[in-house]
Amino acid sequence: MSANQSDFEDQVSMTVDDDEISGYESDCGDSNSAVSDRFDVFTRNGMIRLEEENSAHDIIKTCFLSGMGFAGGDTNLVAIHKNVSSDLTRQARFESFKIFSKAVAQKCGGNANVKYAWYGGSKDELCEILVHGFSRCREPAPNEQSYGVGVHLISPVFAYDGALSSAVDERGLRHMLLCRVILGKMETVAPGSKQSHPSSKEMDTGVDNLQFPRRYVVWSAYMNSHIFPVYVVSFKAPSPNVVSGIQPSIQPRQANTSKPTSPWVTFPALMFTLAKFLPPSKMLLIVKCHNEFRAKRISRPQLIRKVRQIVGDNLLIQVIKAFRSKSLHPASAKRTV
């Protein structure tokens, strides 16, 4: 696990009480306020809006925008709602989650490996999950790689992957669940695999990369015992293209440099494409470099030089050529390790 993932787990875990999901009203906003009207679909279903002054709100917002990578600067986090329902069914589901956590911990030598993970979808789909639990394993989107048949969740430091699975609602907002997930003992699942259950009794869940996990796979048999939604994060991007990673009409930022004269690719688009070929460890380095650029600690030429060193000129040239020709074939580029 990367340092970024450990930091996220350490910070956000402090905001969750393992013994209850109700009783947080004092830390949350008024669900009857006019400001909350547009989120009544959540508040009617046992969610309470976190105040911006709440420490959990601040931590989740920071981690979410950081996980959005280059699109973070163009993304506005509008609201965070917490699952505090005292509904008997949801309380029972939470009690089941705790029982399975203890059982997996006992099987795995004392550690159930419970982590946070993102799940993106439409507002209606997320509400159905909050009320009734997961009912199906969604087919991967055209821009997603499948890692077995199960519920695919996203590592907390790669929020933009979850955002790609979200959908714009009638108010122009997108939504993602931030869930607690019992991972237990994980096994690597190959891209395109049709695996639908653990390969042995020792294994519990799947993952794309054991050392730098980006995508978790919870098998369908465990999707309502090993996943518990804790928060709903609602956000808005200036256009759907920002989330998809393509910004054909946006102009370059003028803060650090003059407009480049050579053909260029926006950083959200570059991030989206490079993520198909680079391991999470290198993607995190690129995110850090871009954050330094946005903070004006490095210049644009320095940023470009650092990205070239991380990515390598061969892959970078292929990506730029692909954008100029409006086509990118993953098979034509080798994934770096």
Read off the pLDDT of residues 138-197 as tens digits, 9 standing for 90 and up. Answer: 776 655 678 889 999 999 888 888 888 899 999 899 999 999 999 999 999 998 899 999
User: Which range has the worst mean pLDDT, 67-76, 179-188, 236-245, 317-326?
Assistant: 236-245
Taking the C-alpha atoms of residue 2 and residue 213, their distance in angstroms, rounded to an integer, is 9
Considering the domain architecture, whether residues 43 and 151 belong to the same structural domain is answered as yes
User: Do residue 226 and residue 275 come from a single domain?
Assistant: no
What are residue 47's phi and psi, to 5 degrees? -105, 145
Let me know if residue 279 belongs to a domain: yes
Question: Can you give the pLDDT at residue 36?
Answer: 52
Residue 76 lies in a domain: yes
HEC sequence for 159-188: HHHHHHCCCCCCCCCEEEEEEEEECCCEEE
Q: How far apart are CA 287 and CA 157, in angstroms?
A: 10
Q: Which residue has the higher pLDDT, 180 or 284?
A: 180
Residue 123 lies in a domain: yes
- What residues does 117 pair with on adjacent strands? 179
The single-letter DSSP state of residue 73 is G
The answer to whether residues 222 and 286 belong to one domain is no
| pLDDT number for residue 144 | 65
Q: Rounded mean pLDDT of 194-223?
A: 93
The pLDDT tens digits of the residues spanning 77-124 come to 999 999 987 778 888 889 999 999 999 999 999 999 999 999 999 999
Report the DSSP beta bridge partners of residue 151: 218
pLDDT at 111: 94
Boundary-marking domain end, from 236, 256, 288: 236
Domain ranges, residue 294? 267-326
- Of 236, 251, 279, which closes a domain? 236
205 and 82 assigned to the same domain: yes
pLDDT band for position 285 (50/70/90)?
confident
Residues 229 and 283 in one domain: no
Same domain, 189 and 302: no
Looking at the fold, whether 71 and 185 belong to one and the same domain comes out as yes
Comparing 167-181, 250-264, 304-318, the range with the smallest average pLDDT is 250-264
| 331 inside domain | no
Q: Indicate whether 207 belongs to any domain.
A: yes
- Backbone φ, ψ for residue 11 (5° rounding): -75, -50
Residues 63 and 129 occupy one common structural domain: yes
Query: Within 10 A of 233 (CB to CB), how many other CB atoms are there?
Result: 25
58-62, 131-135, 187-191, 282-286: range with lowest mean pLDDT:
282-286
Q: Which CATH number belongs to the domain containing residue 109 in this structure? A: 3.90.228.10
- If asked whether residues 180 and 295 sit together in one domain, one would say no
Whether 296 and 205 share a structural domain: no
What is the β-pairing status of strands 215-219 and 47-49? unpaired
Rounded to two decimals, what is the model's pTM? 0.68
Buried b (16+ CB within 10 A) or exposed e, 300-334: eeebeebbeebbeeebbebbbebbeeeeeeeeebe
Q: For the chain, what is the domain count?
A: 2
CA distance 73 to 5: 20
